[in-house]
Chains A and B, each alone.
Chain A
Amino acid sequence: MTPGTAAVSPVGRLRQVELRRRWRQLNAESRWGLVILAFILMLSVFVPLLSSNDAYEFVDLPLQPPSAALPFGSDHLGRDLLVRVFAAARLDIALAILGVSVPIVIGTFIGTLAGTTRNPIAETVWDGLVNALTAFPEIILVLGIVAMVGADIRGLLIAIWISRWAQYARIARAKSLALRDAEFVQAAQVLGYSQLRILIRHIMPNVFSEALAYALSDFIFIIVIIGGLSFLGLGVTPPTPEWGAMLAEGRLYLRTEPWLILFPGFFLSLTASGVALLARGLERISRGEDD
């Protein structure tokens, strides 16, 4: 819609038409999800950039209520809560994306490997192991790994990576079982491509779309786990701005300064809700349900 250089060139024009067509295909839920996510991403980019305050710097007296100068007020150390909330948005979203992307790649690869092998022993071992891993109590696994590796960002990510890949592997295996006899795979085999190349270039891209759909709902789980562990003091630790850690700090002032938890908590929930709405909307589109 915005007039710019992109709109002038025919290619840019075409891209715009394409985008608008895609937008019209979406249902209300996924549109709301996209709008919310765009809103949060913009704020998390621009607020720390444009504000003169630093997320770690003391700018006012502690525990000042929201005002014109400090729209979200100041925290228990007198730091600008607005800047901290959106600095936390950057960290949380980045960590959640990091948390999703490693299991999706590892899980899809392992699952495709297991789906295309015709070795019966591998299949039996696979069945027992991955089914058991997905039946494993999630939080207990994560807490156990954090206890082992260490209660910090590194431990948090390792725990998420170890505990989340199995679901992707399961999805990838189911899909690649159907694909391993497909004609385009046979064609690639006839052409003499190596097994690995067929796996990575021909089968994995087709498996990936299904894994991506699951990744959206996984993102919600992971961003909540990151916040939750940090809330317990077992993940990101103060003074680093992180939503869960900020909630843990603000919790001590719940009675008198409730905005300390309301702002970070609201934006954490909003982010997760945006992804949830998008996931739900896309799911309904793919099932062919209309609005």
Chain B
Amino acid sequence: MMTASTGSLADRTLRLLRRPVLRRLAQAFFVAFLLMVFAFLLIRLIPGDPAMILLGDQATEEDVIAYRKLLGIDGSIPSQFGRYVSNMARGDFGVSIRSREPVLSIVQKRLPVSLWLTVTTIFMTVLLALPLGVAAALYRRTWFGHAFQIGASVLVATPVFFSGLVLILLFAVQINLAPIAGYHAGFPANLYYLWLPALTINFVLAPVLARILQSSIVETSSEEFVEAAIIRGTQGWRFYWRYLLRPSLAPTIAALGYFAATVVSYAVIIEIIFNLPGIGMTLVDAVRNRDYPLVQGIVFLSGLLVVGLTFMADLVNGWLDPRAKIR
């Protein structure tokens, strides 16, 4: 790689960009940069003066000036952006207007809840989707296969804010297997609060993953080595695992990575329904309260999390499936 550095810098950079991993990394950085700009523009593009909107008509001149300073919208736009970037680099994301608490410490406090939700959800997705996908592939010509196809379409289209309420109705109101809402930190205990939200998200995720698994098993089963195994008389678990399931797992595992990023997005609405004090609930509250610095900080940080998770999924995907490296 280094020996080929005969061309200009641009040529070399371009050649580097063609290398898939680096290209993806460059892309991830570019998206992160766009996120930063988007978060920066968030306050600045509001029609009218945010300080005036927040303070109302009776505000004195000094109050408005002080507020603009708090929001970081005093001075010229380039100098604002410079300050914004250098503050971020130092981990300073501003102060919440409501609580006057630093945005970063709010995020640090709320993020673990969302991460626990993500982990629980993904774990549950695997538990549900593996048997479902295998069964749907093996019995795809029977009533079960058809019911799976239709059921999956219906479940995927059902919004989580409806299925979540129905699940609360069933499991928290009718039979007392889950709390109606709320959260307590601490590992095994918090699962009591997390299993129902995780199940709700899995009404969407598990069928999608099962479908991916099903179609890749169907694809694998038409390969020649499967036929050869059948002719050789391979039977039982050995056949299912070595010749059907294992060669079909790559797309499923890759999809799990992207799902982790998706859960962060779902968390926004799930946390409101189940009253989980995570990052999504904080974001929605901040949007409602027009707490612009908090919105800005969460948009950037949680966006960064999603971009990072997607990038890692890309890496795993490329590592598992050489075909995905080119594209």
Contacts and interface: CB of A to CB of B under 8 A. Distances in A.
Given A132-B31, A140-B265, A224-B159, A261 B165 contact: yes
B34 A136 contact: yes
Interface in B147-175: 149-150, 153-154, 156-159, 161-163, 165-166, 168-169, 173
B42 A227 contact: no
A91 B41 CA distance: 31
B159 A146 contact: no
B27 A132 contact: yes
A140 B295 CA distance: 10
Interface centre among A140, A143, A148, A272 (most CB of B within 10 A): A140
Interface string A130-143: 01110111111101
B39 A144 contact: yes
B165 A144 contact: no
A244 B161 CA distance: 8
Interface in A92-136: 128, 131-133, 135-136
Contacts of A147: 42, 286-287, 290, 292, 295
A62 interface: no
Contact of B162 (A135, A136, A233, A265): A265
B117 to A, nearest CB: 15
B283 interface: yes
Nearest to B29: A132
Interface in A201-234: 220, 224, 227-228, 231-234
B25 to A, nearest CB: 12
Given A251-B165, A258-B169, A227 B287 contact: no
A144 B268 contact: no
Contacts of B299: 140, 143-144
Interface stretch (B74-82, B106-114, B302-310, B317-325): B302-310
B36 interface: no
A106 to B, nearest CB: 19
A146 B288 CA distance: 10
Interface in A151-167: 151
Contact of B165 (A29, A131, A228, A254): A254
Chain B's interface size range is: 35 or more
Contacts of A144: 38-39, 42, 295, 299
A27 to B, nearest CB: 10
A255 B173 contact: yes
Interface centre among A137, A258, A272, A277 (most CB of B within 10 A): A137
Contacts of A272: 157-159
B99 to A, nearest CB: 18
Chain A's interface size range is: 35 or more
Contact of A234 (B34, B38, B261, B284): B284
B178 interface: no
B261 A151 contact: no
A275 B159 CA distance: 13
29 contacts: A29-B149, A132-B30, A132-B31, A135-B27, A137-B261, A137-B303, A137-B306, A143-B283, A143-B284, A143-B287, A143-B299, A147-B42, A147-B292, A148-B41, A148-B45, A224-B159, A228-B161, A231-B161, A231-B272, A232-B269, A244-B159, A244-B161, A261-B162, A265-B162, A269-B162, A275-B157, A276-B157, A277-B150, A277-B153
Interface of B: 27-28, 30-31, 34-35, 38-39, 41-42, 45-46, 146, 149-150, 153-154, 156-159, 161-163, 165-166, 168-169, 173, 261, 264-266, 268-269, 272-273, 283-284, 286-288, 290, 292, 295, 299, 302-303, 306-307, 310
